[in-house]
Each structure stands twice: as structure tokens, then as C-alpha cells.
Amino acid sequence: MNCLSPSILAADVSRLGEQVQLLDQAGAEYVHIDVMDGMFVPSLSFGLPVIRAIRPWSDRMFDVHLMIEEPSRYIGEFADAGADLITVHAESCTHLDGTIEAIKKRGILAGVALNPATPLSVLDYILPQVDMVLIMTVNPGFGGQDLIPYTIDKVRGLKRMIEARGLKTDIEVDGGIRLSNVQTILDAGANIIVAGSAVFGDDIAGNVRRFLKILHAQQS
């Protein structure tokens, strides 16, 4: 199933609760929450207290993207804060298998994210263990960047890899996704679409509906 996961990195953080509620009412299935530590990526964003504060504003899937060094240190706390899906970067985990296992043990979904230049081969042994793979379509750290074109071919390669193994792993894409390029990305095989700057702005509900029209048109 195709789903929209608006990234609240681009939201008006002074009204975050209301904005998350608005996404929910407009039909976005997920809420994408970018956690940055100023180490794995240059920026700092938000963390546990913000997730706890917005949790009561939405029943949708809280899709927590951890751009932090050694996320294994915080899995329990993010699960307790209300994450439904925790995604960790392959590049930031010394023990990726153990970190994925810790997420699954909490009874929530586990994802693994790959930076643009990280090859799909890092998934060889972990793919059957994860619910979702996040292909970064920009270098992580900032909203509003342009999609790196070669990452679309990477999504196609991942789709082939998943099908060849008879798996049903979700493919999420994150960074530079707009109404003008989302169809190409869906055609490549992605089914969970993160969009930040293309959703937040003057007409949040309208932007969500325009994305959903494209995402849901493809489904049988």
C-alpha cells in the first residue's frame, strides 16, 4: 500500500500539535519525525520530549527517523515516547543486527536507512529482518534539498532485490520529493513517501490531498 509520511521538520514548530492533527485529518497515514544529533548529521532537530508532546494529537503511524550516532542507546526511550516505526541508519550502527532486534523486541516496526552513496549490499543479511528500507534521496541533515537522480535507480535495484527474495519489505524514500517527481519514484518501486517542504506551507491539507491523489491512484 502506498502511504504519505509528511516530515514535520518543515512544520511550524510553534504549532506542532495542531499541524500534526491537520495532517491526520487530511488523510496522511504516517507522521515522519526526523531526529538529528549534530554528530551523524550537522543539524540538531528535536527528540524525545517533542515526540511525547505530539503523540496525543494523532493516532497515525509515528515514523521516527533516527539520524543519530549509535541509536541502540535510545531504542527503548523512543518506543516509550510513542514511535510505531523506528528507522536507524546502517552507517551509524556498530551492531546493526542487534539494534534491529532491539526495535523488534519492543513490538514495533523496524527500518534501516541508507545514505545515497551506501550500497544496497549492506542489506544482504539484514533484509529479511526489517519491515522497511529507507532510501535517502538526499544527503541527510536538511529539508528543502533537490533529489539526487541516481537514487531513483537505487530504489529500482532494491525493489528487484526484495522481489527476488520473495519479501514484502516496504520501501520509503526521503528527501526532495515533490508533486512533480513523486510518480517517477512510485514507478521505481517506493511505497512510503516522505515529503517535508512540499507539504508544509500555505495549504498543508491541500498539499496532502494532492499527494494522496497520486499515491492512491496507482493502487488496485
140 belongs to the binding site for ligand DX5 (CB under 6 A): yes
Binding range to ligand DX5, per CB under 6 A, among 7-15, 18-26, 121-129, 149-157: 7-15
Among the listed residues 83, 176, 208, 212, the single contact to ligand DX5 using CB under 6 A: 176
How far apart CA 197 and CA 142 sit, in angstroms, is 10
Angle at the Cα of 36 (from 33 to 42), degrees rounded to 5? 140
- Which residues 180-199 are close enough to bind ligand DX5 by CB under 6 A? 194-198
Partner from ligand DX5, Zn ion, none contacting 10, C-beta within 5 to 8 A by type: ligand DX5
**Grid coordinates belonging to 185:** 519514484
| Interior/surface letters 145-165, b for 16+ CB within 10 angstroms, e for the rest | eebbeebbebbeebbebbeee
How far apart CA 170 and CA 166 sit, in angstroms, is 13
Asked if 39 and 66 count as a contact pair (C-beta separation under 8 A), the reply is no
Binding range to ligand DX5, per CB under 6 A, among 6-14, 48-56, 151-159, 181-189: 6-14
Binding range to Zn ion, per CB under 5 A, among 39-47, 62-70, 104-112, 164-172: 62-70
Q: Of 146 and 163, which has the nearer Cβ to ligand DX5?
A: 146
Asked if 87 and 64 count as a contact pair (C-beta separation under 8 A), the reply is yes
How far apart CA 150 and CA 214 sit, in angstroms, is 22
- Which residues 18-37 are close enough to bind ligand DX5 by CB under 6 A? 32, 34
How far apart CA 207 and CA 220 sit, in angstroms, is 23
90 belongs to the binding site for ligand DX5 (CB under 6 A): no
Partner from ligand DX5, Zn ion, none contacting 54, C-beta within 5 to 8 A by type: none
Asked if 10 and 199 count as a contact pair (C-beta separation under 8 A), the reply is yes
Binding site for Zn ion (CB under 5 A): 34, 65, 174
Binding site for ligand DX5 (CB under 6 A): 7, 9-10, 32, 34, 65, 138, 140-141, 143-145, 174-177, 194-198
